[in-house]
């Protein structure tokens, strides 16, 4: 027996399968599907009553460099170029072997799902890498998504697919590209036709009960549908409780269903694809930077991390436990947290700390803004929470979370979620910001807006900054003066889409011990594993791309007992 591992007292198996998958997100469903298509019996266990995890709540962007859709569209990319980009973003924080495995097999995985499982993917046109100007970066093509899916195809199982927490997101199903245009159609009339088409489609879908879904729900639904078609069972309300280890090899699991514990044998392996620990308050407290709260995470409720602990208990190494897929988040009282993807790029808004100072390029990648919030707060103690400052023009033209153009409910002013004031000084006092600091910052920022050059943080210089900005605003689509009263602010917290840290795996998704040895029979993928992306987020879909790729590799490895040939 390996050091650190603990034998389970053996008992008779209640059930058995070849390949056992824990968790019904993108990582788990991809692994189960591939194993089944390659001839193994596979079974997915999901502890909640719903299928899809954070995957179903997500934007559904999947980052796959050098993918076949780019090739078809004539967009140049290559293995070498993608690896160069990863070296210039992720760097040496993760092994070159895993980065290369991701680049080689990510593209292969996508094509495999299209050819073997009839899944569909589209390219997200005009969606750049998050650092497109770095060597190896591209300005479009590496992010793909599952197109609209007709939920009714799932039959009764449609009711088992996880749905958004926000009623607005449940009612209006848009693709990421439609969403971007819809939000900006007030100032860009050319976006209206797309918006009207999408709204009509929505209305028909409701009237005729088609249940059309988009973004991450479309991805989760299409994977779930493929599992259905290939007779892969998904047992919901079935929770992993223990890994069974025999002679240093994982041979099965103990699960709890309806209060009863049973033992399931896995002849060819177990994949831990149970998401990260974003919803586990004590793990957050133990591992993540402070201040920390489960109130700020957008991850699915089932992402409670106990599966990572189970891996650790049998000797698995962990990495990146102090990091997450961070992003500025607002929390309106009585609602779920809202991750600010686009609002930071809109002209006429800035993020300041309580000293009234900007500390970041607001429009840069969400993970960078999150990291900077923590780094800055560590130094000055006044950056968490920070404040998004907006003027009337901003509120009139843009959404703030789910609040549409110009709509600021009185209850949010009353309960203090949104501060509103006639002058910047009054707003600062209301929000607990240093008034002098805020006024000086806005004066300086307004000058940048006039010239189109943010001399402090270069906002709007990168193609990525401009991808969510307002193209009707000139000279810099991400910069406009904060000048028109009344002024508004909301608190910004370092929220996240999930955590990055987890079990250390090799290029076949096999779980490793601290000495680098393999725990036979055990795989991990998605946010249960330490991300191949290290501390960064190279492009839209940097969690789902690797989750699906390493899920695919786990499935293939379990079938063949070796890594696929590159």
Q: Which residues bind ligand FAD (CB under 6 A)?
A: 22-28, 45-48, 53-55, 57-61, 216, 239-240, 273-275, 298-300, 302-304, 306-307, 325, 339, 497-498, 526-527, 541-544, 547
Which stretches of 23-72 are assigned E, i.e. beta strand?
Answer: 42-45, 62-63
Whether residue 549 contacts residue 106, with contact meaning beta carbons closer than 8 Å, is answered with yes
Rounded to the nearest 10 degrees, what angle do helices 544-560 and 96-117 cross at?
A: 80
Q: Which is nearer to ligand FAD, 23 or 401 (CB)?
A: 23
Q: CA angle 28-32-33, nearest 5°?
A: 115
Q: How far is the CB of 428 from ligand FAD (least distance, A)?
A: 31
Give me the least distance between CB of 244 and ligand FAD, in Å please: 14
In the complex, least distance from residue 470 CB atom to ligand FAD, rounded to whole angstroms: 21
Smallest gap from Cβ 540 to ligand FAD, in A, equals 6
Q: Which is nearer to ligand FAD, 269 or 437 (CB)?
A: 269
Residue 304 vs 354, nearer CB to ligand FAD: 304
First to last CA, the chain: 33
DSSP string, 141-203: SSEEE---EEGGGGGGGGGGB---SSHHHHH----HHHHHHHHTTTT-GGGHHHHHHHHHHHH
Dist. CA 491–CA 371, nearest whole Å? 17
Query: Closest approach of Cβ 526 to ligand FAD, in Å?
Result: 2
Nearest to 63 by CA among 470, 494, 508, 365: 365
Nearer to ligand FAD, 45 or 403 (CB): 45
Helix (H, G, I), strand (E, B) or coil at 420: strand
Output 218 or 273, the one with its CB closest to ligand FAD. Answer: 273
Q: Which is nearer to ligand FAD, 216 or 356 (CB)?
A: 216
Give pairs for 83-88: CB < 8 Å, separation 24+: 83/136, 84/135, 84/136, 85/129, 85/131, 85/134, 85/135, 85/136, 85/137, 85/138, 85/538, 86/136, 86/538, 87/136, 88/131, 88/134, 88/135, 88/136, 88/137
The Cα–Cα gap between 57 and 375 comes to: 28
| Smallest distance from ligand FAD to CB 216, Å | 6
- Nearer to ligand FAD among residue 30 and residue 506 (C-beta): 30
CB of residue 449 to ligand FAD, shortest distance in Å? 29
Per the DSSP assignment, residues forming a β-bridge with 17 are 266
CB of 563 to ligand FAD, least distance (A): 21
Residue 516, classed as helix, strand or coil, is: coil
Nearer to ligand FAD, 376 or 557 (CB): 557
Rounded to 5 degrees, what angle do the CA atoms 218, 222, 225 make? 135
* Partner residues linked to 125 by β-bridges: none
Shortest separation between residue 543's beta carbon and ligand FAD, angstroms: 3
Nearer to ligand FAD, 43 or 389 (CB): 43
């Amino acid at each position: 027996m390996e050091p650190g591992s603990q034998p389970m007292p053996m008992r008779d198996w209640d059930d058995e399968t070849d390949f056992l998958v824990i968790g019904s997100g993108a990582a788990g469903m991809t692994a189960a599907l591939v194993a089944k298509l390659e001839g193994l019996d596979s079974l997915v266990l999901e502890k909640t009553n719903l299928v899809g995890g954070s995957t179903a709540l997500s934007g559904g962007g999947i980052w796959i460099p050098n993918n076949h859709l780019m090739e078809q569209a004539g967009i140049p990319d290559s293995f070498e170029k993608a690896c160069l980009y990863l070296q210039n973003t992720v760097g040496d924080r993760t092994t070159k072997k895993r980065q290369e495995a991701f680049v080689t097999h990510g593209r292969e995985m996508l094509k495999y799902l299209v050819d073997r499982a009839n899944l569909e993917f589209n390219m997200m046109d005009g969606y750049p890498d998050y650092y497109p100007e770095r060597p190896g970066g591209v300005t479009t093509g590496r992010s793909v998504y599952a197109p609209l899916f007709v939920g009714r195809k799932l039959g009764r199982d449609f009711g088992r697919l996880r749905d958004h927490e926000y009623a607005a997101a449940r009612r209006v199903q848009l693709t990421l590209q439609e969403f971007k245009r819809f939000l900006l159609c007030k100032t860009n009339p050319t976006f209206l036709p797309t918006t009207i088409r999408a709204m009509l489609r929505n209305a028909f879908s409701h009237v005729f009960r088609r249940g059309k879904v988009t973004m991450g729900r479309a991805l989760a639904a299409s994977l779930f549908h493929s599992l259905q078609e290939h007779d892969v069972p998904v047992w919901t309300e079935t929770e992993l409780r223990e890994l069974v280890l025999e002679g240093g090899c994982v041979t099965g699991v103990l699960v709890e269903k309806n209060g009863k514990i049973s033992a399931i044998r896995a002849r060819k392996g177990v994949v831990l694809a149970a998401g990260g620990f974003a919803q586990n308050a004590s793990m957050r407290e133990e591992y993540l930077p402070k201040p920390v709260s489960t109130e700020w995470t957008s991850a699915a409720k089932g992402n409670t991390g106990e599966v990572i602990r189970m891996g650790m208990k049998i000797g698995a190494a962990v990495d990146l436990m102090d990091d997450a897929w961070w992003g500025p988040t607002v929390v309106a009282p009585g609602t779920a947290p809202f991750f600010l993807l686009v609002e930071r790029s809109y002209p006429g808004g800035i993020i300041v700390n309580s000293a009234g100072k900007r500390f970041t390029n607001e429009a840069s990648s969400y993970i960078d803004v999150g990291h900077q919030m923590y780094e800055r707060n560590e130094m000055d103690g006044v950056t968490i929470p920070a404040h998004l400052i907006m003027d009337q023009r901003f509120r009139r033209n843009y959404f703030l979370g789910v609040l549409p153009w110009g709509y600021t409910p009185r209850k949010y002013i009353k309960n203090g979620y949104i501060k509103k004031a006639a002058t910047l000084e009054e707003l600062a006092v209301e929000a607990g910001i240093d008034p002098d600091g805020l006024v000086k910052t806005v004066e300086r920022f307004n000058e940048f807006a006039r010239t189109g050059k943010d001399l402090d943080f270069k906002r709007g210089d990168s193609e990525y900054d401009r991808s969510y900005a307002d193209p009707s605003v000139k000279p810099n689509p991400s910069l406009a003066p904060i000048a028109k009263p009344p002024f508004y602010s909301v608190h910004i917290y370092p929220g996240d889409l999930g955590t990055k840290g987890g079990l250390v795996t090799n290029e076949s998704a096999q779980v490793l011990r601290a000495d680098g040895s393999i725990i036979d029979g055990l795989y991990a993928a998605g946010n249960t594993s330490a991300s191949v992306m290290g501390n960064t987020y190279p492009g839209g879909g940097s969690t789902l791309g690797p989750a699906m790729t390493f899920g695919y590799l786990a499935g293939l490895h379990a079938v063949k007992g070796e890594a696929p040939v590159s």
